[in-house]
Amino acid sequence: MTIVLALIVLLAGSAFLPRWWSHRVADQANGSFTSGIGLGLFYGFAFTLVALIVLWVGLRRIRSWKGRLLLLGVALLISSPNLLTLGIVLGPGRAAHAGERTLDVDAPGFRASSLIGFLIAVLVVLVIGMMLRSRRRSRNDADALRRELAETRRSPDDH
């Protein structure tokens, strides 16, 4: 029974959501190329960045599988604007094609700039992660050198 209900919800969502999302974006962009690009960059960047930060922080603190699955669900919910856009771009159904046409006409540039915003957010998170790792490594190296210096000062000179 649950599987049948899930399939019905999936089919209804795949017929409704791409059209609905494309019209929400089109209403915001109002046919402007600049607005379409700006919205795409914003949605792609902001919702990816927040979702990745939630995952990063949460995975470091949550150890149970149930908690991690819930965290993944929250991150997917946060990134839903990007997932809806991806569904329009990759979706094989009529609703996805209708969404593509709506975005092409009423929010030009949205789809490509959404991808660019997504890639920038991923790059920002990777760079910040590398910087934090480098900082932690440098701090550990400095602590080891301080301990070594303190040991050499305490021990008598072997000369």
Indicate the number of domains in the chain. Answer: 1
d(CA 151, CA 154) in angstroms, rounded, equals: 5
Q: What is the sign, positive or negative, of the torsion defined by CA atoms of 61, 130, 40, 111?
A: negative
To the nearest whole percent, how much of the chain has pLDDT over 70?
Answer: 97
Domain of residue 118 covers 2-154
What's the pLDDT at 91? 87
Is the residue at 159 inside a domain? no
CB 54 within 8 A of CB 71: yes
Is the residue at 47 inside a domain? yes
Is the residue at 121 inside a domain? yes
Is the residue at 77 inside a domain? yes
d(CA 112, CA 52) in angstroms, rounded, equals: 20
Is the residue at 51 inside a domain? yes
Q: Flag whether pLDDT at 155 surpasses 60.
A: yes
Is the residue at 44 inside a domain? yes
Per-residue pLDDT band for 156 (boundaries 50, 70, 90) equals low
pLDDT digits over 96-133, tens only?
999 999 999 999 999 999 999 999 999 999 999 999 99
Q: Flag whether pLDDT at 158 surpasses 60.
A: no
Distance of CA 134 to the CA centre of its chain: 23
Question: Model's pTM, two decimal places?
Answer: 0.82
Q: Which amino acid is at 64?
A: S
